[in-house]
Amino acid sequence: MSVDELGGRGWTHVQPLPPLSSLLLPWWDKSRADLPWRRTTDPYAIWIAEVMLQQTQIAAVIPYYERWLARFPTVEALAGAPLDDVLKVWEGLGYYSRARNLHTAARRIVAGHGGRLPDTLDELLKLPGVGRYTAGAVASIAFGVRAPVLDGNVIRVLSRVFDVAEDVTQTATRHRLWQLADDLVPAARPGDFNQALMELGQLICVPQAPRCLICPLAAVCLARQRGTQLERPVRPARKRTPHFDVVAGVIWRGGGPSAEGQFLIAQRPHAGLLGGLWEFPGGKLEPGETHADALRREIGEELAMEIAPGDFLVEVAHAYTHFRITLHALHAAYVAGEPQHLGVADHAWVTLDEVERYAFAVTDRKIIAALRLLSQANSGVKAE
């Protein structure tokens, strides 16, 4: 199939399709980065790496990947571990549904596949958390299956090589890009080709300042020829990111802040954002509420407890994928009411030393850090 046959504005190119593999693979063989998941042929390790690399920088993934395989070296080890342990090892990597899906999928692989990762696209796609990209990456890299991949880096490379003038967020354009990626994958070394295409986008065909002079695809890149590199890929203008003010309480039982004192932590429901992680309970401010008012209301709604909000502890700003928050953490005193799980999955009373057993999101880790600084100040210990 030629690109002309795909139809649509901006899809023209010489016929037949340019032999990208003959240009990319020699570059890959000479220049590819030495990464830990490229030193193994274990399908399980490759799967873990591909999931961790989703929406996460390589440099951030490497230490997590190594710690994960040290703790869960096999599918069986992952399947047999409690979810809390899995989330603790994942702590700080973000997008925690990935960890929950890995855990669920591992149990399914052990129960239904004898502990061996499926080696076909159809079977991989049946696993929780495995979409078309992950299935294609694992199938091609681990099993040599001729299958395409399409992530942000590949979209950028293809959009420039073929000078795609259509919005890549549109379903029809995305469908054509998948078809194009499929047409380009060679029968020989499909995994290397896919990795080369992704690495080209990571290192050479970068968003703001593409390094066209050293690109192995420069001779066949239409965007370079036409001077449209910085206009590709085409995406709609970004919408303004919503912002929310959020309050959280460090609720002390039997006294105020101290290294030995106990405070309440709550586990988020397993479904939804940050599912299964632990947190300092609280929630969004409603219009007209003070931080103290919002904290009293949220604790009543989530745990049926009465508290007395106290001093401010720390403010944390954080950006999620589709919104931003400013988190205001307050000390509070427990007053009355046995904690009930109305809006949480579980609760625990812990000391500052005991809190390390639990997995928290990055915002709550910053509250813990503030508590440690306060504890050091109160005890006269100099912080490092």
Query: For residue range 207-242, what is the model confidence (pLDDT) as tens digits?
Result: 999 999 999 999 999 999 999 999 999 999 888 999
- Residue 5 confidence (pLDDT): 44
Q: Is 50 a catalytic residue?
A: yes
Across the strands, what pairs with 184? none
pLDDT band of 379, cuts 50, 70, 90 = confident
Q: Record the tokens describing residue 370, joined without a space.
A: 């503030």
pLDDT band of 310, cuts 50, 70, 90 = very high
Q: Give yes or no for a contact between 22 and 28, defined as CB atoms under 8 angstroms apart.
A: no
- Residue 321 confidence (pLDDT): 85
Element spanning 248, H or E: strand 243-253
- Residue 8 confidence (pLDDT): 41
Query: Is the previous residue joined to 236 through a cis bond, with omega within 30 degrees of 0?
Result: no
pLDDT band of 376, cuts 50, 70, 90 = confident
Model-level pTM?
Answer: 0.88
Q: Among 231, 251, 267, where does a domain finish?
A: 231
Range of the domain at 248: 243-379
- Residue 260 confidence (pLDDT): 78
Q: Record the tokens describing residue 36, joined without a space.
A: 């830990």
* Mean pLDDT confidence for 306-332: 95
Return mean pLDDT, the chain: 93
Pair (255, 375) in one structural domain: yes
Query: Is the previous residue joined to 148 through a cis bond, with omega within 30 degrees of 0?
Result: no
Q: What is the pLDDT of residues 64-90, one digit of tens each?
A: 999 999 999 999 999 999 999 999 999
* Mean pLDDT confidence for 188-196: 98
Give the domain CATH number at 20.
1.10.340.30
Pair (193, 269) in one structural domain: no
Domain count, the chain: 2
Q: Record the tokens describing residue 42, joined without a space.
A: 């274990």
* Mean pLDDT confidence for 231-255: 93
Q: Among 231, 262, 296, where does a domain finish?
A: 231
**DSSP-based three-state secondary structure for 17:** coil
Q: What is the pLDDT of residues 8-39, one digit of tens each?
A: 444 554 456 678 999 999 999 999 999 999 99
Give the domain CATH number at 300.
3.90.79.10
The residue with greater pLDDT, 142 or 380, is 142
DSSP one-letter string for 102-158: HHHHHHHHHHHHTT----SHHHHTTSTT--HHHHHHHHHHHH--------HHHHHHH
Integer Cα distance of 250 and 80 in angstroms: 33
Q: Give yes or no for a contact between 24 and 205, defined as CB atoms under 8 angstroms apart.
A: no
Across the strands, what pairs with 316? 327
Torsion, CA 277, CA 363, CA 295, CA 243, rounded to 10: -110
pLDDT band of 259, cuts 50, 70, 90 = low
Ramachandran category for residue 304: left, alpha or beta (phi over 0 → left; psi -120 to 50 → alpha): left
Pair (96, 56) in one structural domain: yes
Q: Per-residue pLDDT for 343 more than 80?
A: yes
- Residue 185 confidence (pLDDT): 96
Pair (209, 267) in one structural domain: no
Integer Cα distance of 375 and 383 in angstroms: 10
Give me the catalytic one of 50, 91, 298, 302.
50
DSSP one-letter string for 163-195: T--SBTTSHHHHHHHHHHHHHH--SSSHHHHHH
For the chain, the C-alpha Rg in angstroms (whole number) is 25
